[in-house]
Amino acid sequence: MASGLGTTSVSCACHPSRLSNSRGLIQTPRSAVSGIYGKLAAGRKPVRFCSQFYGSREFVVSLRINSVPTGPSGFGKLRRGKMTRSALAEEPVLNREEVPEGWDKWAIAAERSFNTFATEATVKILESLYAKRLYARFYVLETIARVPYFAFVSVLHMYESFGWWRRADYLKIHFAESWNELHHLLVMEALGGDERWIDRFLAQHIAVAYYFLTVLMYLVSPRMAYNFSECVEKHAFSTYDKFIESHGEELKLLPAPEVAVQYYTKGDLYMFDEFQTDIEPNSRRPTIENLYDVFVNIREDEAQHCKTMQACQSGNSLRSPHKDAPLTEIANNETIPPPADCEGIFECATTSTSFADRARKQ
């Protein structure tokens, strides 16, 4: 099992079709599995099984991440193999940078107040609409969650075209983040989250509006846009954490969608490593045996997104995990002028310089 938790029998009525395998775990027929999926998707409490896992609360942790990070350093390495608790459980609270003074201090406070309010308002609406249909809610959440990375890449491509800002690492990492969120979405579709037309309509139209909002925000203040995305990822982490806590036993009896098995365990995992800027490549290699493993790893992905968004708010501290990439080596070469850099469209438009100008100043 993915959790590594012990088992103990409890007194309950067992259905004859539920047979224990050699490991003492319950095997549920496909017909019963589909019924459990339906109950979870509809939000009803699933049936009780004749096996109970103790210690399941070990992996339930609070997402305690400061809003102003000092960069991606200072974190422990994730253990190889399957994880039974969030990597955030063992992480120290991030140290805060010195609080800016004057206008910057008030601007940051206003930005974060807006981001928090907007996120919490959206969360309350989704919770009221999807209180009893969890997979549909996850589908909407994942459709929305990947939009900021589309927006970031769009604006960065525009900056590249104008020669204002040339940061290859940002482009690589944000694309890898969107690739990760895409596979979260494919998992939710495989679980039936997009079955109703109204859910697809709502999710897709919210996503379009969110895209243009994020583009505008990123043009004016990248810091604010990254913090907004961090707020969304924190909510996603909390949502999956609560879901695992309340439905962990049932999830362990359900098969993993094939798309999750393919993404997490097979083929070239370069893209999987690329969005996790806080850990070394190849240090996290999940094993997917059931649906519980899938949701634990989706939760861990959201934690890694949070840390990457924090690193993006720390100036130019964001670097690709694959440090042997040619463009990264060029950027770190002191004999080559640094790439153009700016903060927001107004600064970019007024301070852009040529390669020759940067070479003369070096």
pLDDT digits (tens, 9 = 90+) for 178-191: 999 999 999 999 99
What's phi and psi for 19, nearest 5 deg?
Answer: -110, 145
Whether 335 is covered by a domain: the verdict is no
The model's pLDDT over 104-160, given as tens digits with 9 standing for 90+, comes to 788 888 889 999 999 999 999 999 999 889 999 999 999 999 999 999 999 999 888
Are residues 97 and 177 both part of a single domain?
Answer: yes
Contact present, 242 and 56 (Cβ < 8 Å):
no
Are residues 128 and 11 both part of a single domain?
Answer: no
* Residues pairing with 20 in the sheet: 26
Q: Does residue 340 sit in helix, strand or coil?
A: coil
Enclosing domain of residue 13: 7-53
Q: Residue 231 burial (CB < 10 Å; 0-12/13-18/19+)? A: buried
Place of tokens 């490593």: 273
What local confidence, expressed as pLDDT, does residue 58 receive? 35
Are residues 125 and 15 both part of a single domain?
Answer: no
Are residues 47 and 71 both part of a single domain?
Answer: no
Are residues 42 and 103 both part of a single domain?
Answer: no
pLDDT category, 97, cuts 50, 70, 90? very low
Whether 78 is covered by a domain: the verdict is yes
The model's pLDDT over 223-280, given as tens digits with 9 standing for 90+, comes to 999 999 999 999 999 999 999 999 999 999 999 999 999 999 988 888 898 888 888 8
The model's pLDDT over 27-80, given as tens digits with 9 standing for 90+, comes to 444 444 455 555 555 554 443 333 322 233 333 333 333 333 333 333 333 333
The model's pLDDT over 148-162, given as tens digits with 9 standing for 90+, comes to 999 999 999 988 888
Are residues 268 and 131 both part of a single domain?
Answer: yes
* Number of domain units in the chain: 2
Are residues 43 and 71 both part of a single domain?
Answer: no
Kindly report the CATH number assigned to the domain that includes residue 307. 1.20.1260.140
The model's pLDDT over 288-306, given as tens digits with 9 standing for 90+, comes to 999 999 999 999 999 999 9
Whether 191 is covered by a domain: the verdict is yes
What's phi and psi for 346, nearest 5 deg?
Answer: -70, -45
What local confidence, expressed as pLDDT, does residue 48 receive? 32
* Higher local confidence (pLDDT), 39 or 356: 356
Are residues 155 and 297 both part of a single domain?
Answer: yes
Are residues 155 and 31 both part of a single domain?
Answer: no
Stretch 3-26: mean pLDDT = 37
**Residues 61, 47: Cα–Cα separation, whole Å:** 26
Are residues 256 and 134 both part of a single domain?
Answer: yes
Whether 203 is covered by a domain: the verdict is yes
Are residues 40 and 87 both part of a single domain?
Answer: no
